[in-house]
């Protein structure tokens, strides 16, 4: 909960005095997800394609909220001659600050929390299930005017059980 409060405060400070388009938007993105974890003499560093579905609302002052579902795919790696994979997904909630640079170009930063669940597999058999709530941060850009925009972003997740979890994605956003 402390991480969520910190992340929300950070976005409030960032959003002060910024202007952007107001309103509701829904979207979907497709991207490259990476999970890196080293512990007890082994190293897992793998990537896969993932996707996300999201909805956000931007207020008149450029501050907004965003929530969604993210699927990190199922990155797999070879560990000691065995096939290891992590199947991870989660729900997220962010505070978002948007900087409108022109009618068709915005930059944004977001901070919030991800509630995740991951299955660790060895040779296709689940050997562990873990879950948690951790800090999530992101930066991105939105290109387009009117109702349809192209959105690119990078998100980093401070998952306490992993060294690094991130996703770079490109998607479409439909603004109402």
CATH class of 2-175: mainly beta
* Structure-model confidence comparison of residues 42 and 166, the more confident one: 166
Q: How confident is the model at residue 15 (pLDDT cuts 50, 70, 90)?
A: very low
Closest CA to 169 of 37, 161, 156: 156
Residue 120 confidence (pLDDT): 87
Closest CA to 54 of 69, 35, 73, 75: 69
pLDDT digits (tens, 9 = 90+) for 76-130: 888 778 888 889 999 999 999 999 898 889 999 999 999 999 988 888 888 888 8
Joined together, the tokens standing for residue 14 give 């960032």
> Considering the entire predicted model, what is its pTM?
0.81
Q: Where are the domains of the chain?
A: 2-175
Instruction: State yes or no: pLDDT of 65 exceeds 70.
Output: yes
User: Contact at 8 Å (CB) between 94 and 66?
Assistant: yes
């Amino acid at each position: 909960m402390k991480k969520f409060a910190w992340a929300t405060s950070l976005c409030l400070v960032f959003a002060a005095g910024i202007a952007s388009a107001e309103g509701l938007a829904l979207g979907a993105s497709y991207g490259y997800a990476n999970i890196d974890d080293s512990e007890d003499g082994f190293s897992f560093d793998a990537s896969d394609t993932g996707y996300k579905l999201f909805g956000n609302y931007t207020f008149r002052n450029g501050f907004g909220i965003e929530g969604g579902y993210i699927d990190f795919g199922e990155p797999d790696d070879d560990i000691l001659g065995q096939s290891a994979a992590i199947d991870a997904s989660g729900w997220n909630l962010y505070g978002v600050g948007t900087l409108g640079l022109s009618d068709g170009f915005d930059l944004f930063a977001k901070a919030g929390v991800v509630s995740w669940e991951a299955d660790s597999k060895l040779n296709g058999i689940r050997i562990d299930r873990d879950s948690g709530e951790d800090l999530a941060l992101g930066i991105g850009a939105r290109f387009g005017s009117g109702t349809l925009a192209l959105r690119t972003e990078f998100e980093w997740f401070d998952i306490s059980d992993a060294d690094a979890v991130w996703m770079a994605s490109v998607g479409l956003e439909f603004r109402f």
